[in-house]
Each structure stands twice: as structure tokens, then as C-alpha cells.
Chain A
């Protein structure tokens, strides 16, 4: 399977714990996006990378959230001191583009987080 993969698919944690999610994009894609989706809502943009550079961060991304893409391939999204409001589906998408954003993105299956 050469699509976007995310791990883990599900995560249950206690409030206050740290969690880390991983996204492996399609191999030749230079852009990688993170989104959050709560039940009944559309996805919310969190951040995106072009190669290893983080080019944009939403105001939704509080200090407890950090994302990295150290070698321009896979990316990690870490949430520190989780809160119940962090419970959501975290989606990753990748694409290839050398121009402004707006290109077709390919989404992964998501990581569903439940904070108890």
C-alpha cells in the first residue's frame, strides 16, 4: 500500500499524559498537512510542512501541540498534557506541489484520540 499511513489508528489516554502520532506520507510528496476533526464537524487545519520546514501553524495549535518533520519524510504530532477537549480524529494528508497551496491532497486514515 503506497498511500498515506498513520499510527496508531486509535489512542486512549488519561488526561495529563503526552501522546505522539506518526504520519508517513506518500514517498515523493513534499508537503504534509495535519488536521483535527471532531464529531460532526469538518476538518480543522493545524499545520503544514514543505519538506522539513513548518510553514504555517493555525492558532488552534496551542503550546501543548508540536509537530516535526525532521528529514522531510514522516512527521510526528505530539500533544503534551492532554485535555479532554483534545479528543478528536487527527488526520494527516500529503501532496506534491512547488506552487501555492491548493493542490490535491491525499489523506491518511486518521488517528482517533480519546482523552479520559
Chain B
């Protein structure tokens, strides 16, 4: 069993739709990252969260520490949002990262 589970694994949406990607984890963490990986491998860090909610443009990330759950929301989705979105957690017991397997998002014009 992975320490970090993401859902859905694959997601296809029409342009303009509101998108939610979920991340659940089973370990105690100090922080959680949402990453975006484009075809070809380039990875961009979107958010780092330890509590509450963060917003950047059309992206919103929330985390509920008690429920060990985080969500990434994309409002007014656009084809350029098509990418793999990866959740990563940092353990609170030491310097270890665990990554989810990613959610592959395709936004159709």
C-alpha cells in the first residue's frame, strides 16, 4: 500500500470545467506539496501546504491535517492545464518524501 494515494488516476475534462484532484496519506506529515509535471518531464512546484488553504490564480489547494487529506482545485480549466499533478508529503519524523503516482489531467477544448 502506498503511503500517498491520489484520485482519480486519469481525468478528462471539457475546457471551463471545475476540476478536483484528491490526495490522501497515511503517515504523519509536516508539509504537503502539489507538483505539476508536463509531458517531457518538467516538474513545477505549485503549492506547499502545512494547514488551511492556498490560492494562486485559478489554482486552489486545501489540506485537512486531521483527515489526512488534501485537494487541488482548478477553476475554469484550460487545455494548457493538461499535465500530471503529483502530491508529495514530507514526514514529520525526519527527512523523507513520499510521492503519489500522479493524476493525469487532459482538458479538451
Chain A residues near B (Cβ < 8 Å):
37, 40-45, 48, 55-56, 58, 89, 91, 93, 100-107, 109-110, 112
Q: Which of A41, A45, A100, A105 contacts B30 (CB 8 A)?
A: A100
By the criterion CB–CB under 8 Å, are A43 and B45 in contact? no
Selected interface stretch from B11-19, B57-65, B68-76, B86-94: B86-94
Give chain B's interface residues, CB within 8 Å of chain A.
4, 30-31, 33, 35, 40-45, 48, 50, 86, 88, 90, 94-102
- Distance to closest chain B CB from A72 (angstroms): 18
Q: Are A58 and B96 in contact (CB under 8 A)?
A: yes
Closest to A55 in B: B95
The answer to whether residues A42 and B86 also contact, given A48-B95, A58-B96 and a CB cut-off of 8 A, is yes
The residue that B45 contacts in the complex, of A37, A40, A48, A106, with Cβ under 8 A, is A106
**CB-CB under 8 A for A91 and B41, given A40-B101, A42-B101:** yes
**CB of A106, distance to nearest CB on chain B (Å):** 7
Which residues on the B side are within 8 Å of A48 (C-beta)? 95
CB pairs A–B below 8 angstroms (29 shown): A41-B102, A42-B4, A42-B99, A43-B43, A43-B86, A43-B88, A45-B97, A45-B99, A56-B96, A91-B41, A91-B43, A93-B43, A101-B90, A101-B95, A101-B97, A102-B31, A102-B33, A102-B50, A102-B90, A104-B45, A105-B33, A105-B45, A106-B45, A107-B35, A107-B44, A109-B41, A109-B42, A110-B41, A112-B41
